[in-house]
Amino acid sequence: MSPERDVAYKLSDKLDTKFYYFLAIYPERDVAYKLSDKIDSKFLLFLSSTNSSNMQHSAEQKIIKFLKSVAKIIVLMLMITLVLTMLLGTIDLIIEVIKALASPTPYYALINVEDLYVVFSTILIIVVGYELFKSMNLLLHHDKIPVKSILQIAMIALANKVITLNIKTIKLDTMLGIGVIIAALGIAFFAFNKSNEKME
């Protein structure tokens, strides 16, 4: 029910049955002004203030809509940049693999273990970029924060760090910190899945 109709019913002692009949047929504001002799000045003042507030609300909505459009364009440009970096990273990865295979160390057509660390790290970084692309795509079309995708990205990035970790040079506090982060992400992912199951 619109504010005008609500006030009209509240001021029923000011109106007769003819107003209710016209109210059901014609738009509320037009009937209100046609039957102004049936309505006191307070109701007319309310209509004017409602009109101004509706105009202000409409202007705010237009500004918000414009800002959302600009934000979507920015996100789209970021997605294009992300895809380009993923493509260039993949090309660089292929080149590095070819160089490793062509290198005589340790043998031709074989890849050194140290080179494998670089290859795996680059692959995981590209996978993180792909997950980030999917999250940005969801954000672009649904206007919702993709919590699950963000948690997955964090897990993949952390897995990249763990896989490429040099245990010989790493310190104990760094290992403990990584362990705490892994546990925190696991708990957050578990809690998120549980909440989704309850909502379903």
Residue 19's identity, in one-letter code, is F
pLDDT, tens only, 149-182: 888 888 888 887 787 777 777 888 888 888 899 8
Are 128 and 135 a contacting pair, CB within 8 Å? Answer: no
pLDDT at 10: 54
pLDDT at 2: 52
pLDDT at 90: 95
pLDDT, tens only, 74-118: 999 999 999 999 999 999 999 988 888 888 877 777 888 778 888
pTM: 0.59
Residues 130/136/141/143 CA torsion (nearest 10 deg): 150
pLDDT at 74: 93
What span, in angstroms and rounded, lies between the C-alpha atoms of 125 and 21? 69
pLDDT, tens only, 26-43: 455 555 555 555 555 555
pLDDT at 100: 84
What is the distance, to the nearest Å, from the Cα of residue 190 to the centroid of all Cα atoms in its chain? 21
pLDDT at 52: 65
Tokens standing for residue 162: 């763990």
Mean pLDDT taken over the chain:
76
pLDDT at 94: 93
- Tell me: pLDDT of 15 over 50: no
pLDDT, tens only, 37-71: 555 555 555 556 666 666 777 888 888 889 989 98
Lowest mean pLDDT among 15-19, 65-69, 125-129, 140-144: 15-19
**DSSP strands (E only) in the chain:** none
Higher pLDDT, 49 or 193: 193
What span, in angstroms and rounded, lies between the C-alpha atoms of 157 and 128? 7
Tokens standing for residue 99: 């160089």
- Tell me: pLDDT of 17 over 80: no
